[in-house]
Amino acid sequence: MRAPATAREIAVALLKGGGDRPYAFGMATALMSKGAALDLIGGDNLDGPEFHGKPSVNVLNLRGGQRPDVSFPTKLLRVSVYYAKLIRYAATARPKIFHVLWNNKFETLDRTLLMLYYRFLGKKIVLTVHNVNAARGIVRIRA
């Protein structure tokens, strides 16, 4: 029987689909402080100097900028490119743990097809559930 993994043996992909940079920042820095290898998946709003130059941190800005004042075709292309990059990343990612901090805009795609895809690839999924009843106007945060 193998002994429990140390933090240095743990590799985590932290996927940030939407808002709440402070939560992602806190989670990332906590994992970094324990020595876990970390792939940070996000966009321009997550990328920051505090994550660069760390040997165990890999910042992957797959999303890029999210300016709301662009045309619909530009938004459609931007989302399509992001999902293509995310699918390609997952297929070759070293981390076996995928911690999804926030869904993207297409919850059905994110919570069903992508989750099935990650499981097919043998990834362990950790899902932080935010705004469980957001559609009803009830906001609850559960970890």
Q: Are 115 and 125 in contact (CB under 8 A)?
A: yes
- Residue 101, token pair as written in the block: 């901090």
pLDDT for the residue numbered 28: 86
Write down the pLDDT at residue 67. Answer: 84
Domains of the chain by start residue, with CATH? 10-130 (3.40.50.2000)
List pLDDT tens digits, range 60-119.
988 888 888 999 999 899 989 999 999 999 999 999 999 988 777 777 888 889 999 999
63 within 8 A of 86, measured Cβ to Cβ: no
pTM of the full predicted structure? 0.79
DSSP state, residue 106: -
Residue 57: CA count within 13 A, CB half-sphere: 22
